[in-house]
Amino acid sequence: MFEYCMARQFVAGVDEVGRGPLAGDVVAAAVILGEDHGIEGLADSKKITEKKRDALFDVIQERAVSFCIARASVEEIDELNILHASLLAMKRAVEGLSIQPQYIYVDGNKLPKWTYSAEAVVKGDSLVEEISAASILAKVTRDREMVALDEKYPGYGLAGHKGYPTKVHVDALKRLGPTIIHRKSFAPVRAAIEQMNLF
């Protein structure tokens, strides 16, 4: 069973959002909260309301000792595969912290290739406050980007499903074809490309 036992002052939490979608970057965040941060309501970003996530997004950035939001692009996802792109985004987030942590908790069961002392924690976004905070920063950032991209690429419903492979999204891909923000290495996008003889 996981036990959180490190001094909070130099502990970072890392999480990513966006492995499953057919479109958009994968976004990661790293957060060092520090002692006595006083942030209430930290939890897995998927389990709290959008309104609460938005409020916590601001509070985390105000009170965290250090935070960094990073990403891996659609092109990197297609080149590396989504797992390695996610790990790259998490590595970039940690490297972007203004204070380098003594220990890192990473959500999931895999660690990026780095020299930091770190531990992968399954369901860490529900167990470690620093990971919860990172999860919220990453999700709010990516969700807002998908809403903005919905205006740039109308017809796909991006603001609603945030790029995930819903029926609405897959049907739109078949009807409209993929855009430059779609991940060509993902099967539904690849199928749409083949169907429309685009490449």
Q: List CB contacts of 30: < 8 A, sequence separation 6 or more.
A: 12, 13, 14, 67, 68, 70, 90, 93, 94, 96, 97, 101, 104, 134
Can you give the pLDDT at residue 1? 55
In a domain, 173, yes or no: no
In a domain, 160, yes or no: no
Element at 46 (helix H, strand E): none
- Cα atoms in the 13 Å half-sphere on the side-chain side of 65: 16
CATH of the domain at 38: 3.30.420.10
CA 170/CA 85 separation, integer angstroms: 23
In a domain, 30, yes or no: yes
Can you give the pLDDT at residue 196? 77
In a domain, 86, yes or no: yes
Can you give the pLDDT at residue 8? 55
In a domain, 171, yes or no: no
Can you give the pLDDT at residue 134? 97
In a domain, 75, yes or no: yes
Element at 90 (helix H, strand E): helix 82-95
Q: Which domain range does residue 145 map to?
A: 8-152
Can you give the pLDDT at residue 35? 81
In a domain, 141, yes or no: yes
Domains: count for the chain: 1
Per-residue pLDDT tens digits of the chain, which is 199 residues long? 556 555 556 899 999 999 999 999 999 999 999 888 889 999 888 899 999 999 999 999 999 999 999 999 999 999 999 999 999 999 999 999 999 999 999 999 999 999 999 999 999 999 999 999 999 999 999 999 999 999 999 999 999 999 999 999 999 999 999 999 999 999 999 999 998 775 5
Can you give the pLDDT at residue 43? 85
In a domain, 167, yes or no: no
**What is the amino acid identity at position 7?**
A
CA 143/CA 168 separation, integer angstroms: 17
CA 159/CA 142 separation, integer angstroms: 11
